[in-house]
Amino acid sequence: MKNKVIPLIFSIMLLVSLSFISSANTITLITPAQDGEVSGSYVLNATLDTNTFNITSATFFYYDGSSNVTIGTTTNQTPTNFNYTWVSTALVDVNNYVIWVNCTNQTGLLTSADSSTGVDIDNGNPTASFSSGSFSDNTAMVSTTSLVFGLTADSTIGISSCIGYFTSADSGTVTTTSMTTSANACTNTSTPSTLSLGINEVYSVTIQATDGNGDQTNATARTLRITPASGGGGGGGSSAVKQSIIGDGDTTTSGNVISNFFNSIINWFKGLFN
């Protein structure tokens, strides 16, 4: 019995002493605060209430919703102060990350952690430039031809979604289409017909990029003209011309028949009197 009681008492004493140590050397994440915003070169700051156990190292992390990623580790600038400059442009813009800090003493046995939730990383608006594979400005195309339009990647601010806008120069009607977004770029391969764009209409086309904060940028618009199909529409045109020619020919032919008819009657009367 005595052999069991002594280790138990020792364990309780150890737990009490550890909780005392923890509560006496507690770290607090000062910046970013809860729901704070991070941009540019940002100083992450954490402080200790006291440092009686020689805490010398603090590591900052972010949690992106699926895993913890180390931002960096720093030693204390004063016994109770830790600063780490984070170049936040290394990440694309996001909302509501968890930033947290963990400090340890030299033996690594004593640790204390703190976090701030709802932190936004916002370094501005996304760029929106038509990608090299996109149709050129002032393109004229038939409605069944492949139409490619997209934005070049913005890996700094990030692009989380895109919408294509086709505004009719005549009616002002706006046709929108969703786009495929991947790796901070977006693209769409379609046809004017699939997008229900009107033949013989001229469209102002832009793409709106949205980043992880909801910030938006429109690409400089390009002009697109939808022409009649070269096979069906063109054939119709030349067919109309032929019909017109045939009509004239018919009239001319009819005139010749009538004229010949009267000429033959006149010749018949002439034959009577001769």
Q: Which residues bind Ca ion (CB under 5 A)?
A: 35, 93, 96, 118, 120, 122, 211, 213, 215
- The residues, ordered by sequence, that sit 6+ positions from 215 with a Cβ below 8 Å of its Cβ are 93, 122, 124, 125, 126, 157
Minimum separation from the CB atom of position 119 to Ca ion (A)? 6
Choose between 80 and 114: whose C-beta lies nearer to Ca ion.
114
- Helix (H) or strand (E) holding 272, with range, is helix 232-273
Do you know the residue count of the chain? 274
Minimum separation from the CB atom of position 130 to Ca ion (A)? 21
Minimum separation from the CB atom of position 123 to Ca ion (A)? 6
Choose between 118 and 233: whose C-beta lies nearer to Ca ion.
118
Choose between 164 and 212: whose C-beta lies nearer to Ca ion.
212
Q: For residue 100, what are the CA distances in angstroms to 44, 71, 73, 116, 160? A: 10, 10, 12, 6, 25
d(CA 140, CA 147): 11
Rounded to a whole number, what is the distance in angstroms from the first to the last CA of the chain? Answer: 162
For the CA atoms of the chain, what is the radius of gyration?
Answer: 39
Choose between 127 and 131: whose C-beta lies nearer to Ca ion.
127
Minimum separation from the CB atom of position 126 to Ca ion (A)? 7
Minimum separation from the CB atom of position 122 to Ca ion (A)? 4
Choose between 98 and 195: whose C-beta lies nearer to Ca ion.
98
Minimum separation from the CB atom of position 207 to Ca ion (A)? 17
- How many CA atoms within 13 Å lie on the side-chain side of 219? 29
And the tokens for 208?
């709106």
d(CA 80, CA 1): 46
Choose between 134 and 213: whose C-beta lies nearer to Ca ion.
213
